[in-house]
């Protein structure tokens, strides 16, 4: 039965070179960070990105693990991750229900 690569280590990961696996780390070829890209180089930088769905899922997974390592998993984790999830949910549901909310505005002149 094929797993299609889901749940496996990334093909770039080599335990002898990289040591223990960290799900928050990108093991592919290093590139210039987006913050250091000049305006004339944005097209080439975007062309070098991997645009398939599996790469997008991997990027979201790495972002989740970085967030989790920073806010959820420390020994003395505070209330920050709960508030971040709460405010994220509030913003999401506000965006989803905006068309209903905007119809209930109070206008001074009718």
Mean pLDDT by 10-residue block, N- to C-terminus, for the chain (110 residues)? 70 90 90 92 92 89 93 91 96 94 73
Closest CA to 65 of 9, 28, 26: 26
SS3 content of the chain, % helix, strand, coil (to 5): 55, 0, 45
Closest CA to 68 of 24, 26, 25, 27: 24
Q: Where are the domains of the chain?
A: 15-104
Q: 32: which 2 tokens?
A: 């210039």
Quote the pLDDT of residue 105.
75
């Amino acid at each position: 039965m094929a797993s299609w690569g889901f749940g496996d280590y990334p093909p770039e990961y080599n335990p002898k070179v990289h040591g223990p696996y960290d799900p928050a780390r990108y093991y592919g070829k290093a590139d210039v960070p987006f913050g250091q890209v000049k305006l004339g180089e944005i097209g080439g930088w975007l062309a070098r990105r991997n645009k398939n769905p599996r790469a997008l899922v991997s990027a979201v997974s790495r972002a989740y693990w970085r967030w989790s390592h920073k806010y959820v998993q420390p020994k003395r984790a505070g209330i920050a991750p709960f508030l971040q999830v709460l405010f994220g949910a509030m913003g999401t549901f506000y965006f989803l229900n905006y068309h209903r909310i905007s119809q209930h505005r109070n206008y001074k002149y009718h």
